[in-house]
Structure 1
Amino acid sequence: METMLANILAQYPGVSPVVFMLARSLGVLIPPIPGVFIDLLGIATFGWFIGFLYGEAGIMLGAMLAFLIARKLREPIARKIPLLERVHEWEGKVSEKTKFWTLVALRLPSNPAFDYVSYAAGFTKIGFWKFFWATLVGNIPTMLFVYYFGSRSLEMGFYYFLGFLGVLAIIFAVLSHRDFLKRGAK
């Protein structure tokens, strides 16, 4: 998929921003699609800053669509999964400000689970715009890191780029493992 996308971006520069944003949104809607590889194509095609803007737009589009899909399915699924009823009870006890910052806090360290958090939020009662802004605020730091340092490592050469990918893999593995251990301790 990455090769096909790279060819389209190179051959059709007039539509490449839209194609890139749609591809990046698919990386959220279909969790097995690795979004970071699509981000790297964005860096190579558009540069770090414009690529970041297009990538962020694509991620936000994917997150909003995932949220809305889950929101549409919320009630039929809630009747079948009692845990969602407890989540709704908890939501009734916390302030709107707490809900917002809880979602931001979930977004910051959870980029490996970004796609799932978008769907999961749709099952809650959080409002669309609150979800939108919390997702944007929580996602920008990681995306800036990936785009800026990904661009710098591409400029320095292939081995620096491989090192950057290795560092990203280690960070995501540590964060995922830490989250896994926290869930196991409960």
Structure 2
Amino acid sequence: MGAWGYLAFALAYTVLQPFGVPGTIFIVAAPLLWPWQTAFALSMIGTMSASVVGFSFARFVAKDWVSARIPARLRKYDTSLERTAFRTVVVLRLILWMPQALHSFFGVSKVGFWTHFWGSLVGYVPPLLLVSYLGAEMFDASGRIQPGAWPILAGLLVASLAIAALARAFERRQRPS
């Protein structure tokens, strides 16, 4: 539970999530093990590390192989990424969180590493903060969702969509006429 527990959690999350283990398992488990502040910090470290590993694997190790396997539903964001990379990364992270295909998509796209990194960080904060803070209320010790969690999850969805809409409105105001 001390420093070795934190390290084991972050390392397992970083290594396993980009290659198939759902990150949600780690994010749900963290507030059941630690106080919400620690759970948030560890979830953020693990999520960002896993995103960097997935992005870097797709960009530097297996670009051609990964590119051939990106779902068509993500490919439609290619043009948006070219025009508004940071906002698109933030919005997709807010709504979709951390699927492996999204790490890979960003890795084979024209998004720069630092744009991916900072956009992901901004997009991850609201959902990870909410799950860390309310995780013990939303899930029981076995990880099953509690009936009272549905309003919380609906609120998270509404908040994510509102942030995405505000980001879009802000971008439109910034464009020269």
Relative to structure 1, the CA distance from residue 147 to residue 69 in structure 2 (aligned partners, 3 Å threshold; closer, same or farther) is: same
Q: The residue matched to 1:125 in structure 2 has which SS?
A: coil
8 Å contact from structure 2 (residues 66, 104) kept in 1 = no
| Alpha-carbon distance in 2 for matches of 1:99, 1:90 | 9
* % identical equivalent positions: 24
Alignment of 1:93-108 (within 5 A): 94-95=82-83, 98-108=84-94
In structure 2, what is the equivalent of residue 141 of structure 1? 126
| Alpha-carbon distance in 1 for matches of 2:68, 2:139 | 49
Matched, 1:36 2:30: no
Per the normalisation by structure 2, the TM-score is 0.68
Matched, 1:56 2:44: yes
Considering fraction of residues, name the structure with more helix.
Answer: 1
| Alpha-carbon distance in 2 for matches of 1:79, 1:149 | 39
Matched, 1:74 2:63: yes
Relative to structure 1, the CA distance from residue 100 to residue 15 in structure 2 (aligned partners, 3 Å threshold; closer, same or farther) is: same
In structure 1, what is the equivalent of residue 10 of structure 2? 21
8 Å contact from structure 1 (residues 107, 114) kept in 2 = no
Per the normalisation by structure 1, the TM-score is 0.65
8 Å contact from structure 1 (residues 68, 122) kept in 2 = yes
TM-aligned CA deviation for residue 39 of structure 1 = 2.1
Computing the radius of gyration over CA atoms, which structure comes out larger, 1 or 2?
1
| Alpha-carbon distance in 2 for matches of 1:75, 1:154 | 40
In structure 1, what is the equivalent of residue 96 of structure 2? 110
Relative to structure 1, the CA distance from residue 154 to residue 28 in structure 2 (aligned partners, 3 Å threshold; closer, same or farther) is: closer
8 Å contact from structure 2 (residues 54, 107) kept in 1 = yes
Aligned residues: 151
8 Å contact from structure 1 (residues 108, 142) kept in 2 = yes
The one-letter amino acid of 2:93's match is R
Query: Runs of 5+ in structure 2 lacking a partner?
Result: 157-177
8 Å contact from structure 1 (residues 150, 164) kept in 2 = no
8 Å contact from structure 2 (residues 67, 105) kept in 1 = no
| Alpha-carbon distance in 2 for matches of 1:110, 1:34 | 12
Query: Runs of 5+ in structure 1 lacking a partner?
Result: 1-8, 173-186
| Alpha-carbon distance in 2 for matches of 1:34, 1:78 | 21
Relative to structure 1, the CA distance from residue 24 to residue 126 in structure 2 (aligned partners, 3 Å threshold; closer, same or farther) is: same
| Alpha-carbon distance in 2 for matches of 1:166, 1:35 | 20
TM-aligned CA deviation for residue 139 of structure 1 = 1.1
TM-aligned CA deviation for residue 46 of structure 1 = 1.9
| Alpha-carbon distance in 1 for matches of 2:69, 2:26 | 36
8 Å contact from structure 1 (residues 29, 66) kept in 2 = yes
TM-aligned CA deviation for residue 127 of structure 1 = 0.9
TM-aligned CA deviation for residue 125 of structure 1 = 1.7
Match of 1:119 among 104, 109, 122: 104
